[in-house]
Chain A
């Protein structure tokens, strides 16, 4: 149980375009999902907390207009990277917290974004 999927696993896009990444909890409901960014051989950096039915909470320094987060249902959160640039190339990971909260986060397999 407690499986989180991400789609796509890899995406290549041109500079200036937008790309959407989906995060789904497959066998549980999640009121809260988290989005992380990870550079090679570095730690996970929390970008934002996504709450079902409300606006996302962004960490300091994260551009909310560039990284649009939508959490429309208890099993789906999306991250849209708008007007992507090469510096947005990274590995994006989502995680979900189930209801009720058992104090664990379940992680998706990640999405590798390459902006050319």
Chain B
């Protein structure tokens, strides 16, 4: 079974600064997807960014980018120019592309991000 670990329960950042959230995972699969989700106080899960394992290029979405290290099984999220609206709980998630776990998401424990004005 796959596992996802977020070792930072809480992080904080000053507005306009950059912060990096860590995520590691364990899998024996070679093909999979990785995601970062944001859960604001409303509790609605919002997709921030996704990465296909077969792609070497790191995904980028505006101020959000990832550092995907497949060999190290690491998938960190960098938020640049942090904004107050970025404050939320962030979850790293793994998705299988085959086998009995096809389609299921495995979530990390989450990181609560606080943004200070």
How many residues from A make CB contacts under 8 Å with B? 20
A41 and B44: CB pair below 8 A? Answer: no
- Bound: A105/B105 CA distance, A: 9
For chain B, the bracket of interface size reads 20 to 34
The answer to whether B104 touches A43, judged by C-beta atoms less than 8 angstroms apart, is: no
Give chain B's interface secondary structure class. Answer: strand
Contact at A103–B50, with CB atoms within 8 Å? yes
Q: Is the interface of A mostly helix, strand, loop or mixed?
A: strand
Q: How far, in angstroms, from A43 to B112 measured CA to CA in the complex?
A: 11
Measuring CB to CB, which residues of chain A are less than 8 angstroms from any residue of chain B?
32, 34, 38, 41-44, 46, 49, 91, 93, 95, 97, 101, 103-105, 107, 109-110
Which residues of B does A touch, CB under 8 Å? Answer: 33, 35, 42-45, 47, 50, 52, 89, 91, 95, 97, 103-110, 112
